[in-house]
Structure 1
Amino acid sequence: MLDVRKLRLLRELAHRETIAAVAQALSYTPSAVSQQLTALEREAGVRLLERSGRRVTLTPAAMNLVAHAETILAVLEQAAAELAGTRTELTGTLRIGAFPTAVRTILSPALVALSSNYPRLELMVTELDPVLAPDALRAESLDVALVQDYDYVPVAPDAALDTEPLLEETVYLAALSEDPLMTHAESAWIASTPGTLCHRMTVRACEASGFTPRIRHHADDFGTVLALVAAGQGVALVPELGALACPEDITLTPLKTQRRTQLAYRRGTGNHPGVLAARAALHEAVARRFSTQTEIARSSGHPGGFTRVAPP
């Protein structure tokens, strides 16, 4: 019989690619991970890993086993969720991960509702870039997370996760004048840290307009980005949630580019009472924000770009 814990290590190796990364994510030592994977090979009776020096790659048999492991782990998560659903009161810990602008605008009101409705539910929030959220969900350091993709930066589905649409936003060119994106080929640019989705979106949107942006400043907080734009330090691409407190002297020019935010959770956990409660609270928070922002846009003439996505 194959050991589920060893299958999980193999699944993580398929995602993280190195034994050291698996060990760090799951709080093992690298030698312990290697020993467990060697034991899994013995249990399977076939070679699962190809070793070349310090590098390890998965064999075709291992990749097939990883696909089965995803199904097995999802069924176990579903069983645990159904057991949790038999309890009379929602208790325990719910760990939620979100990007900074969502923490301020969407997650905060959702937390108020969750705390009020479920006083014995312990809420834990982690602020992180969406690109890191899938790994955190698979490692079980998060239960629910907000993940993203942009036009020009598609994100491949993760077999370990289920997702559902939450919000779509327009991306704006933030500048001191109302000029098309293509006119800023020689401008200084402000972008997020390299490796983030926001940074890749900025680079690829500019490349689609025929130039590579000359990035002078890096900032991950959109409030800081807008302050730099207002100070004449460059131009930037900012999604709707990041532009809610935009300085008056900045012009926001809407682009065709969209940012899409989804709720993500491990396969099989969607009906866990805690995850269900978080899903409902976050959709309600978006509905309230959408309604309020639409009213503000109508009264101020600001081009509101929210599209609320109804829960499934």
Structure 2
Amino acid sequence: MIETRRLRTLRAVADHRTVTAAAAALHLTPSAVSQQLVALEHEVGHRLLERDGRGVRLTSVGRILLGHANEVLAQLERAEADIAAYTTGTAGEVQVASFATAIGLVVAPAVGALRGKEPGIKVRVLDAEGDQSLTMVLDGAVDAAVAVEYRGAPAEDDRRLSRIPLYSEPFDVVLPGDHPLAKAGAAVTAWAGGTVTTGTERLVTEGDTGAAVTGSEVAVADLAGETWIGPYPGNPCHDVIALACEHAGFTPAFAHSSDDFSAVVALAAAGAGVAMVPRLALRETDLSGVVVRPVAGPERRVFAAVRRGAERHPLLIPLLDALQDAATTLRQTAPSP
């Protein structure tokens, strides 16, 4: 008989690639994780792990067992959800991990809506980048994540997760005011916030901290050879930007790094370089001294994710519905070129 807790341990090791990291995620000691893996290998009669540099990887049998483990753990999530629906109804706490922009755009509105519709549900929100939040869901540290599609993210058909699309947004290029590309074009098209004035090179916002958003798109290839400002490696947006540049035939030279987009824009205003920023991240940002132009291609696709089977949990159904409602409102109110 294979014990479920050992299957969870196997999945954690597969996700984190080292026994030490898996132990930290499971709140166990490395020796306890090693003992569970040894016991699991005895249960199945095969080696499940092999050395891979400083970490470990699954053997062929390990990969087969992991596929079954994902199915078993998803079914257990469904069972827990059905029992919770029968016994507790909609009262309790759920934890959501989300990156900062999405907290303001969809998570906070969803929390506000739930306070009125489902006062028995208490939502705890944790600020975490998309690559961190999905791991937190899989490890059981949180119940749901609002994350970003990026290279290396679990695929849409990943059998460990259930994903709900929320919204997507294009990237804009943020240029110093005296940059040659800032002079091209004349018509302001759109910006996700403030008031758009057409036919001028000025975008007027409520705080008069706007910038020009010229009508024609910038090709990513036009930014080759520039000095770049952007998020740190590991941030999903860094990955989206790097991949867009790779498709355009070059590798961006990041001279300045910050995960705070207001800091990225401030550096661009100081003439330190160019940046690509998700449009909705500019919504509350001081754009004085920069010119913002739409850029062809890259998008930030945002989705909610829970462990497969948990989407039926009575505490998560209202949360996911509220997130989708907030995303619908966002899509209807955010202008686009």
* TM-score of Structure 1 vs Structure 2, range by shorter chain: 0.7 to 0.9
Cα pair distance change 1:49/1:155, threshold 3 Å: closer
Distance 1:208 1:65 in 2: 36
- The one-character-per-residue Cα deviations of 1:266-285 (angstroms, maximum 9, x if unpaired) are 00011111111111111111
1:18/1:56 contact within 8 Å kept: yes
Shift of 1:94: 0.4
The equivalent residue for 2:281 is 242
Shift of 1:212: 2.3
Identity %: 36
Letter in 1 for 2:280: L
TM-score, normalised to structure 1's length? 0.87
Alignment of 1:289-308 (within 5 A): 289-294=330-335, 304=336
Distance 2:142 2:106 in 1: 17
The equivalent residue for 1:284 is 325
The equivalent residue for 1:146 is 146
2:244/2:297 contact within 8 Å kept: no
Alignment partner of 1:205 out of 230, 239, 244: 244
The equivalent residue for 1:309 is none
Shift of 1:290: 2.3
2:167/2:327 contact within 8 Å kept: yes
- Provide the alpha-carbon RMSD of the alignment: 2.1
List 4+ stretches of structure 1 deviating above 4 A: 51-55
Alignment of 1:2-41 (within 5 A): 2-41=2-41
1:229/1:250 contact within 8 Å kept: no
Distance 1:38 1:138 in 2: 22
The equivalent residue for 1:108 is 108
The equivalent residue for 2:163 is 163
Stretch moving more, 263-272 or 46-55: 46-55
- The one-character-per-residue Cα deviations of 1:111-166 (angstroms, maximum 9, x if unpaired) are 1111222223221111111011221111111111112225xx46342321111211
Cα pair distance change 1:214/1:224, threshold 3 Å: same
Stretch moving more, 1-10 or 231-240: 231-240
1:100/1:221 contact within 8 Å kept: no
Shift of 1:50: 3.4
2:237/2:300 contact within 8 Å kept: no
Distance 1:212 1:55 in 2: 29
Distance 1:173 1:115 in 2: 38
- The one-character-per-residue Cα deviations of 1:232-267 (angstroms, maximum 9, x if unpaired) are 221111112212135154222232222211111100
Distance 1:4 1:125 in 2: 29
2:240/2:299 contact within 8 Å kept: no
Stretch moving more, 23-32 or 161-170: 161-170
Structure 2: runs of 5 or more not aligned:
185-217
Distance 2:3 2:88 in 1: 32
1:273 counterpart SS class? coil
Stretch moving more, 175-184 or 164-173: 175-184
Shift of 1:55: 5.0
The equivalent residue for 2:74 is 74
- The one-character-per-residue Cα deviations of 1:86-108 (angstroms, maximum 9, x if unpaired) are 24641221010111111112111
- The one-character-per-residue Cα deviations of 1:44-98 (angstroms, maximum 9, x if unpaired) are 2333233589754322222111111111111110011111112464122101011
Distance 2:226 2:83 in 1: 57
Distance 2:267 2:137 in 1: 34
